[in-house]
Amino acid sequence: MKIDKIEKVAIVGLGMMGTSLAAALKNKSFKGTIVGYSRKENICKDAIEKKIVDDASINLISVVENADLIVMCLPIDLIINKTNEIFDHLKDGAIVTDIGSTKKNIVSLLEKKFKNTNKFFIGSHPICGSEKSGFKFYNEKLFENKVTVICSSLESPKNILNTIKNFWEMIDSKTIFLNASLHDKKLALTSHLPHILSSLLIDVFEKNKNKFKEDDIYSFCGTGFNDVSRLASGSSDIWKDIILTNSEEIIYQLEILEESVNQLRHIIANGNSDEIYSWLNETAQLREKIISKNRL
Amino acid sequence: MKIDKIEKVAIVGLGMMGTSLAAALKNKSFKGTIVGYSRKENICKDAIEKKIVDDASINLISVVENADLIVMCLPIDLIINKTNEIFDHLKDGAIVTDIGSTKKNIVSLLEKKFKNTNKFFIGSHPICGSEKSGFKFYNEKLFENKVTVICSSLESPKNILNTIKNFWEMIDSKTIFLNASLHDKKLALTSHLPHILSSLLIDVFEKNKNKFKEDDIYSFCGTGFNDVSRLASGSSDIWKDIILTNSEEIIYQLEILEESVNQLRHIIANGNSDEIYSWLNETAQLREKIISKNRL
């Protein structure tokens, strides 16, 4: 099945990610029909009125039953539950994918469900997002020049994998195929750790509450504080699931972080100017290297 | 002395901060003369050509000797050294201020030097900046709607303090008077800790280098990673001085951070969904509260 054979895409979940995906497809002049599911009637209505989708409904089964491609744009636990719920209603040859930020759990459970059937599940993770959630924060350019990781076991047919690859590339995302377990190891470092560091800044702030008067200390937070703490405003529901489904790898990174904090504390206590400079300079140089190679 | 009595401002140091200050004054139609000092001839030439300053020179003494207000836009140790160097050449009634990110060291040393003379030192810290350093990154709107903290002992004459206050407010900065020691305690939490967290993310990255192939892992760094790590690209020279001159308060915050990391690691290891959600939700709510009250 080529991408032009996809006549109907069902987007299950019209939050920030799902709506951005629908809007990106419209923006790229996707030829087929885009149908959305939301549990809220007003969101369905809004999405139709704003022409982000061709149709939308709070009836999940009716949304997915004739779809060629179904994209589950939901929090991790709902991706699993709702995919199980729709499975029997999917047409032959239907492909289901998702946007979950951890993959081992989702892919292992759902590949098992779809195995030896004529329906297919391929995991996806577009590495993009926002700390804002909900319909109104959608962005049709969210996926452009970002990486989408495609996770599937080796048994998935090549044409199905290619359809998913072409689908993400149609909205200008780059694609990488990766084993789900290695995906989760890597993302623990590149995505889950940054999120946790952002929240840790706020946690330390909270622990200082008796030291400074509240309203007063807020005035001293500048743009640096705002940027480092931005991710802490993300959805606690989504991040709870990410942490729960990748706890082992996250704990591994937190152990390294604890070691780093401890080391730095000793470097600062030593008060050796060269040592402090070296620590800062090595991190500054590595950061520039990462960012420059990461520019797509 | 009112702000309109300042006929000549000397900006010592034409890096990102100094040049932004000169450009902001020009932008706000400051009536007097703006003279800049840089140790590099080509920067002096550039600043004059771009009409950011009226004149500039690599001869520090000639730049400051007739100035009414001298703003030391240099790294912390140079603020102290260069102010000592120019002291004898300042005219009667001249006011010196600075932009250093820590204040206890600078203010205590320089107030002692200026005490019982007819020249004045008042510390300033505009809470704004960039991870980029150098002339070419200047921004005439850098100070707008940001807070500048003014630090001086109680002995400074009120009219001198008012001149400094009016000076920063002229370029649309808000001003707060604060004791230098309390300034450093507060900034350890709101500015120095965010910077260190940003660098710690990169340090943990470095410690993972044997686990993942370099070029490969870079592709998985998204916008969240970029934002949290942004400050790590800041000048190692400037940040070395900030850490050295505020080490006690920074170590205090790092101890709290270590405790936070350890606590969170245990919460995650317990695997209790509600506990993880609560931790994330409390930090998300506090972050929103800080940001909303901080909007100027």
Please check whether residue A67 is in contact with residue A8, taking contact to mean a CB–CB distance below 8 angstroms: yes
d(CA B148, CA A140): 39
A197-201, B186-190, B194-198, B218-222 — which is least confidently predicted?
B218-222
Whether B162 and B173 share a structural domain: yes
Is B77 strand, coil or helix? helix
| Domain end residue (candidates: B179, B208, B232) | B179
User: pLDDT digits over A225-256, tens only?
Assistant: 999 999 999 999 999 999 999 999 999 999 99
d(CA B200, CA B208): 12
Total count of domains within chain A: 2
Distance between the two ends of chain B, CA-based, in angstroms?
A: 29
- The residue of chain B nearest to residue A232, with distances taken between CA atoms, is B284
Whether B164 and B22 share a structural domain: yes
Distance from CA of B49 to the nearest CA of A (A): 31
C-alpha to C-alpha distances, B178 to A80, A110, B247, B268, B290, nearest whole angstrom: 54, 59, 20, 40, 20
Q: Which domain holds residue B175?
A: 3-179
Q: Nearest CB to B269: which of A193, A205, A251?
A: A251
Give B25's pLDDT tier (boundaries 50, 70, 90). very high
Distance from CA of A143 to the nearest CA of B (A): 11
Whether A237 and A156 share a structural domain: no
Whether B126 and B198 share a structural domain: no
Whether A157 and A29 share a structural domain: yes
Q: Nearest CB to A227: which of B187, B230, B253?
A: B230
| Domain end residue (candidates: A178, A213, A229) | A178
CATH code of A168's domain: 3.40.50.720
C-alpha to C-alpha distances, A229 to A63, A165, A199, B196, nearest whole angstrom: 38, 33, 7, 13
pLDDT at site B1:
43
Whether A68 and A129 share a structural domain: yes
B250: its two tokens: 């920074």
Residue contacts between A and B (CB atoms, under 8 Å): 291
Distance from CA of B35 to the nearest CA of A (A): 28
Q: Is A210 exposed, middle or buried (0-12, 13-18, 19+ CB in 10 A)?
A: exposed
Is A156 strand, coil or helix? coil
Whether A44 and A100 share a structural domain: yes
- The residue of chain A nearest to residue B145, with distances taken between CA atoms, is A222
Is A132 strand, coil or helix? coil
Whether the pLDDT of residue B241 is over 80: the answer is yes
| Domain end residue (candidates: B161, B179, B197) | B179
A-facing residues of B in 212-231 (CB < 8 A) are 212, 215, 217-231
B-facing residues of A in 84-143 (CB < 8 A) are 127-129
Whether A240 and A140 share a structural domain: no
- State residue A93 phi and psi, 5-degree precision: 85, 0
User: pLDDT digits over B62-79, tens only?
Assistant: 999 999 999 999 999 999
What are the DSSP E strand ranges found in chain B?
8-12, 33-37, 55-57, 69-72, 95-98, 120-121, 123-126, 147-151, 174-177
Distance from CA of B84 to the nearest CA of A (A): 22
B24: its two tokens: 């902001």
Mean pLDDT, chain A, whole residue set: 94
Whether A200 and A270 share a structural domain: yes
User: pLDDT digits over A147-177, tens only?
Assistant: 999 999 878 899 999 999 999 999 999 999 9
B98: its two tokens: 């600075």
pLDDT at site A5:
81
pLDDT (average), residues B26-31 = 92
Mean pLDDT, chain B, whole residue set: 94
A-facing residues of B in 146-185 (CB < 8 A) are 146-147, 149, 174, 176, 185
Is A133 strand, coil or helix? coil
Q: Report CA torsion sign: A100, A101, A104, A105.
A: negative
**Listed residue (B106, B85, B3, B102) closest to B37, CA to CA:** B85
Give A296's pLDDT tier (boundaries 50, 70, 90). very low
Whether the pLDDT of residue B256 is over 80: the answer is yes
pLDDT at site B4:
62
pLDDT at site B2:
52
User: pLDDT digits over A73-129, tens only?
Assistant: 999 999 999 999 999 999 999 999 999 999 999 999 999 999 999 999 999 999 998
Whether B9 and B85 share a structural domain: yes
CATH code of A186's domain: 1.10.3660.10
Cβ distance B250 to A268 less than 8 Å, yes or no, reads: yes
Whether B172 and B66 share a structural domain: yes
Cβ distance A196 to B255 less than 8 Å, yes or no, reads: no
pLDDT at site B135:
87
User: In Å, how far from its chain's centre is CA B151?
Assistant: 13
d(CA A247, CA A185): 10
Q: Nearest CB to A193: which of B204, B247, B293?
A: B204
Which amino acid is it at B123? G
d(CA B55, CA A26): 56
d(CA A169, CA A175): 7
Whether B191 and B281 share a structural domain: yes
Instruction: Provide the 8-state DSSP code for B60.
Output: H
